């Protein structure tokens, strides 16, 4: 597979983030020694329980915060000012309520100085192609959670980013809608580059089957401090479809990721604590 | 069709109870006066108030125009000042630390007591009234804006920061639109003060306006209580009208809000 010209590589080298003491609280080592890489066009996932530092890593990569240790390379270069180097989808869709669907999608183009008219002309075919054409003039509140998330995803891809950061994009959705959107993301990602493979993606999630379905590689994180406990290659062939979930290989990989998570948590004492609570029960 | 009926009945359910209570109250007042229990010189009946005020429309109309001008200009001045100060407070932390507590503390000053001072500084014309209305109206608008700006969704701000948005772009595209609902809440509160403030300023000294009109009616011989009542009713109606205008502006300014 030829490397797409526009997808960029991502590399995290021994990333650490310490938040200073504040208001009597001790300083917090949020993440420590995180190594992660994604080749151009790869889809990699950070998975872990809540509070394991996934979102911290995520904000560091996005450039919203700076690591206290280590180096983040995008496109092979250490990049201190990373704002704008990736397209970012926050946990909640962050659609602006005062902008129509199409104007939410065009936001990244407008901020680059593209006129509103030209930006709309670029967005309309994209909306049509991904089943949102009839909603382009709607206000965000008129859409369901799943539809809002699709709009937010189109806003993420419209600037033709080399690197996309998705922070639990489907975490707030019910499981049926979530599965639907995972399939939709697979299709969108593979077709957004007009035949070229899609951009490099870093996904943060706590959903095991989502991680396996979408990723080329899964990084398992454990908390306090957040670090990488295991790395699992997902060798499932592409294109993947909803049926991929039925494959034995898929189920086996799900089990592998789950075991890796359990092992990491047990080593950390989380499971023994939970067992202790069960023993204390009736 | 069913929807129309449903909407109408909904409106009726909103309007009918307070309207009935109001009409009943006015009817009771009229009956009480007509039965001769009250001195009409002190408490004229509502019917008489309406007719004598109508008869005096040649005098009351210019007063309405003058006071409305003061109220509206005062509100505009207050909104402009509140906008500048709220944006400054939201943008620069030192300004917030230094100014916001003082703005809150300024509310301990009885604004009415400033009326003579304002008159000394600006004379008897339009300016002192506009200044006093603005002093009364500033606080709710400013607090609404400051809180609205501060309550901006941090996710949306981070999102735009990752798009390399400038501070100005963050203000124009995220903070200000997100503060609009609270700005209008503040403005609607201020609207209810505006006429009152203008009239207090006119009591202290004026050449024209509803405050002067009431003052003259109260000091006439014989005393024109009916016209004082009439002026109060007119002020209430004007305030409702101004409130409705602002509510209309609110809808125009925020077309994205679900229909109410």
Q: How far is CA A193 from the centre of its chain?
A: 18
Concatenated DSSP letters of A164-210: EEEESTTTTS-HHHHHHHHHHHHHHHHHTBTTB---EEEEEES-HHH
- The region of weakest confidence among A39-43, A246-250, B36-40, B226-230 is B36-40
Is the Cβ of A171 closer than 8 Å to some Cβ of chain B? no
The residues near A117 (Cβ < 8 Å, ≥ 6 apart) are none
Same domain? For B15 and B144 the reply is no
| pLDDT at residue A277, rounded to an integer | 40
Same domain? For B109 and B195 the reply is yes
Q: What is the mean pLDDT of the segment spanning A64-71? A: 90
| pLDDT at residue A192, rounded to an integer | 58
Same domain? For B229 and B176 the reply is yes
Q: How far apart are CA A203 and CA A45, in angstroms?
A: 5
Q: What is the mean pLDDT of the segment spanning B209-227? A: 90
Is the Cβ of B62 closer than 8 Å to some Cβ of chain A? no
> Looking up tokens 């909803």, which residue turns up?
A242
DSSP code for A26: P
Is the per-residue pLDDT at A219 higher than 90?
yes
Is the per-residue pLDDT at B163 higher than 80?
yes
- The region of weakest confidence among A200-204, A266-270, B29-33, B193-197 is A266-270
> Looking up tokens 């999630």, which residue turns up?
A205
Is the Cβ of A94 closer than 8 Å to some Cβ of chain B? yes
Q: How far is CA A162 from CA A3, A55, A141, in A?
A: 12, 20, 30
Is the Cβ of A84 closer than 8 Å to some Cβ of chain B? yes
The residues near A181 (Cβ < 8 Å, ≥ 6 apart) are A146, A149, A150, A169, A170, A173
Q: What's the token pair of residue B210?
A: 């509803």
The residues near B117 (Cβ < 8 Å, ≥ 6 apart) are none
Identify which of A94, A97, A98 has the shortest CB distance to residue B159: A94
Same domain? For B232 and B208 the reply is yes
Identify which of A84, A94, A98 has the shortest CB distance to residue B256: A98
Q: How far is CA B160 from CA A111, A119, A272, B64, B98, in A?
A: 8, 16, 43, 48, 29
Return the top range by mean pLDDT from A233-242, B1-10, B36-45, B209-218: B209-218
DSSP code for B173: I
Give me the CATH number covering residue B131.
1.10.3720.10
The alpha carbon of residue B224 is apart from the nearest alpha carbon of chain A, in Å, by 52
Is the Cβ of B169 closer than 8 Å to some Cβ of chain A? yes
| pLDDT at residue A282, rounded to an integer | 38
- Where does the pLDDT of residue B63 fall: very low under 50, low under 70, confident under 90, or very high at 90 and above? very high
Same domain? For B61 and B112 the reply is yes
Same domain? For B145 and B179 the reply is yes
Is the Cβ of B153 closer than 8 Å to some Cβ of chain A? yes
- Residue-range definition of the domain harbouring residue B3: 1-38
The burial class, CB within 10 Å (0-12 / 13-18 / 19+), for B176 is buried
| pLDDT at residue B258, rounded to an integer | 78
> Which chain A residues are Cβ-neighbours of B174 within 8 angstroms?
96
Q: Element (H or E) spanning A245, and its range?
A: none
The alpha carbon of residue B190 is apart from the nearest alpha carbon of chain A, in Å, by 25
B117: in domain: yes
> Which chain A residues are Cβ-neighbours of B165 within 8 angstroms?
111
- Pairing mode, strands A200-205 and A163-167: parallel
Alpha carbons within 13 A on the beta-carbon side of B165? 23
For A42-55, what is each residue's pLDDT tens digit? Answer: 899 999 887 788 88
Q: What's the token pair of residue A183?
A: 């399939």
| pLDDT at residue A204, rounded to an integer | 92
Q: How far apart are CA B185 and CA B202, in angstroms?
A: 27
Is the Cβ of B168 closer than 8 Å to some Cβ of chain A? no
Q: What is the mean pLDDT of the segment spanning B8-31? A: 86
Nearest of A60, A107, A1 to residue A202 by alpha carbon: A60
The burial class, CB within 10 Å (0-12 / 13-18 / 19+), for A23 is exposed
The alpha carbon of residue B162 is apart from the nearest alpha carbon of chain A, in Å, by 5
| pLDDT at residue B214, rounded to an integer | 92
Q: What is the mean pLDDT of the segment spanning B134-163? A: 92
Is the per-residue pLDDT at B3 higher than 60?
no
Same domain? For B173 and B194 the reply is yes
Residues in chain A: 282
| pLDDT at residue B133, rounded to an integer | 93
For an interface test with B, the pick among A64, A79, A94, A104 (most B C-beta atoms closer than 10 Å) comes out as: A94
- Where does the pLDDT of residue A77 fall: very low under 50, low under 70, confident under 90, or very high at 90 and above? confident
B212: in domain: yes
> Looking up tokens 């089957």, which residue turns up?
A209
Contact B53, B233 (CB under 8 A): yes
> Which chain A residues are Cβ-neighbours of B180 within 8 angstroms?
98
Same domain? For B105 and B4 the reply is no
Is the Cβ of B160 closer than 8 Å to some Cβ of chain A? yes
More confident residue, B259 or B38: B38
B259: in domain: no
Q: What are phi and psi of A113, to 5 degrees?
A: 100, 5
B143: in domain: yes
- Where does the pLDDT of residue A269 fall: very low under 50, low under 70, confident under 90, or very high at 90 and above? low
Q: How far apart are CA B45 and CA B229, in angstroms?
A: 10
Same domain? For B120 and B15 the reply is no
> Which chain A residues are Cβ-neighbours of B161 within 8 angstroms?
64, 83
- In percent, how much of chain B has pLDDT > 70? 95
| pLDDT at residue A279, rounded to an integer | 37
Concatenated DSSP letters of B122-161: HTTSHHHHHHHHHHHHHHHHHHHHHHHHHTS-HHHHHHHH
The alpha carbon of residue B170 is apart from the nearest alpha carbon of chain A, in Å, by 10
Contact A156, A88 (CB under 8 A): yes
Is the per-residue pLDDT at B8 higher than 70?
no
Q: What is the mean pLDDT of the segment spanning A125-130? A: 84
The residue of chain A with its CA nearest to that of B167 is: A111
Same domain? For B129 and B149 the reply is yes
Alpha carbons within 13 A on the beta-carbon side of A192? 27
B169: in domain: yes
> Looking up tokens 């798009």, which residue turns up?
B163
- Pairing mode, strands A227-233 and A200-205: unpaired
Please name the residues between 111 and 130 in chain A that touch chain B, using a CB distance below 8 Å: 111-112
B260: in domain: no
Q: What are phi and psi of A169, to 5 degrees?
A: -65, -25
Q: What is the mean pLDDT of the segment spanning A83-89? A: 88
| pLDDT at residue B91, rounded to an integer | 87
Report CB contact under 8 Å: B153, A94: yes
Is the per-residue pLDDT at B151 higher than 70?
yes
Same domain? For B61 and B168 the reply is yes
Number of structural domains chain B divides into? 2
What is this model's ipTM?
0.83
Is the per-residue pLDDT at A70 higher than 80?
yes
> Which chain B residues are Cβ-neighbours of A84 within 8 angstroms?
162-164
- Where does the pLDDT of residue A273 fall: very low under 50, low under 70, confident under 90, or very high at 90 and above? very low
| pLDDT at residue A3, rounded to an integer | 40
| pLDDT at residue A44, rounded to an integer | 94
The alpha carbon of residue A100 is apart from the nearest alpha carbon of chain B, in Å, by 8
Is the per-residue pLDDT at A236 higher than 60?
yes
Q: What's the token pair of residue B138?
A: 């500033």
B258: in domain: no
B124: in domain: yes
The residue of chain A with its CA nearest to that of B160 is: A108
Is the Cβ of A86 closer than 8 Å to some Cβ of chain B? yes
Return the top range by mean pLDDT from A86-90, A159-163, B71-75, B164-168: B71-75
- The region of weakest confidence among A232-246, A252-266, B3-17 is B3-17
Is the Cβ of B162 closer than 8 Å to some Cβ of chain A? yes
Is the per-residue pLDDT at A261 higher than 70?
yes
Is the per-residue pLDDT at B243 higher than 60?
yes
Mean pLDDT value across chain B: 89
Identify which of B159, B165, B169 has the shortest CB distance to residue A88: B159
Q: What is the mean pLDDT of the segment spanning A60-84? A: 88
The residue of chain A with its CA nearest to that of B168 is: A111
Same domain? For B88 and B128 the reply is yes
- Pairing mode, strands A43-47 and A217-222: parallel
């Amino acid at each position: 597979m030829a490397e797409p010209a526009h997808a960029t590589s991502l590399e995290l080298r021994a990333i650490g983030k310490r938040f200073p003491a504040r208001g009597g609280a001790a300083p917090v080592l949020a993440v420590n020694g995180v190594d992660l890489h994604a080749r151009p066009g790869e889809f990699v996932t950070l998975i872990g329980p809540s509070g394991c530092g996934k979102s911290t890593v995520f904000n560091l990569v996005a450039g919203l915060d700076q690591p206290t240790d280590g180096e983040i390379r995008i496109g092979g270069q250490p990049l201190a000012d990373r704002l704008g180097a990736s397209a970012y989808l926050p946990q909640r869709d962050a659609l602006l309520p005062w902008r129509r669907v199409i104007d939410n999608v065009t936001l990244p183009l407008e901020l680059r100085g593209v006129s509103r008219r030209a930006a709309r002309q670029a967005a309309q075919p994209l909306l049509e192609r991904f089943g949102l054409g009839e909603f382009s003039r709607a206000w965000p509140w008129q859409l369901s959670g799943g539809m809002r998330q699709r709009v937010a995803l189109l806003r993420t891809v419209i600037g033709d980013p080399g690197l996309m950061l998705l922070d639990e994009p489907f975490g707030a959705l019910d499981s049926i809608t979530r599965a639907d959107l995972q399939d939709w993301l697979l299709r969108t990602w593979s077709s957004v580059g007009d035949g070229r493979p899609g951009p490099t993606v870093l996904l943060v999630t706590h959903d095991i089957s989502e991680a396996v379905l979408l990723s080329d590689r899964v990084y398992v994180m454990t908390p306090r401090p957040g670090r990488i406990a295991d790395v699992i290659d997902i060798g499932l062939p592409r294109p993947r479809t909803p049926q991929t979930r039925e494959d034995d290989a898929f189920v086996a990989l799900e089990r592998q990721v789950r075991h890796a998570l359990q092992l990491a948590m047990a080593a950390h004492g989380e499971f023994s604590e939970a067992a202790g609570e069960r023993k204390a029960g009736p | 069709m069913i929807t129309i009926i449903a909407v109408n009945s909904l409106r009726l359910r909103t309007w009918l109870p307070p309207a009935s209570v109001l009409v009943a109250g006015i009817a009771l007042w009229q009956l009480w006066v007509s039965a001769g229990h009250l001195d009409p010189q002190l408490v004229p009946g509502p019917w008489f108030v309406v007719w004598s005020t109508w008869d005096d429309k040649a005098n009351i109309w210019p007063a309405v125009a003058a006071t409305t001008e003061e109220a509206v200009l005062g509100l505009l001045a207050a909104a402009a000042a509140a906008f500048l100060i709220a944006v400054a407070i939201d943008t620069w932390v030192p300004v917030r630390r230094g100014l916001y507590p003082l703005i809150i503390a300024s509310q301990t000053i009885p604004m009415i007591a400033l009326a003579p001072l304002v008159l000394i500084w600006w004379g008897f014309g339009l300016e002192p009234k506009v200044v006093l209305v603005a002093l009364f109206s500033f606080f709710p608008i400013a607090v609404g804006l400051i809180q609205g700006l501060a309550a901006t969704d941090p996710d949306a701000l981070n999102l735009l920061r990752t798009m390399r948005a400038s501070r100005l772009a963050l203000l124009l595209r995220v903070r200000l639109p997100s503060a609009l609902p609270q700005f209008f809440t503040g403005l609607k509160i201020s609207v209810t003060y505006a006429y009152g403030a203008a009239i207090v300023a006119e009591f202290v000294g004026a050449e024209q306006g509803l405050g002067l009109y009431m003052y003259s009616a109260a000091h006439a011989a014989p005393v024109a209580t009916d016209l004082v009542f009439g002026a109060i009713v007119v002020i209430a109606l004007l305030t409702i009208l101004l409130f409705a205008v602002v509510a209309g502006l609110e809808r125009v300014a925020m077309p994205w809000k679900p229909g109410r």
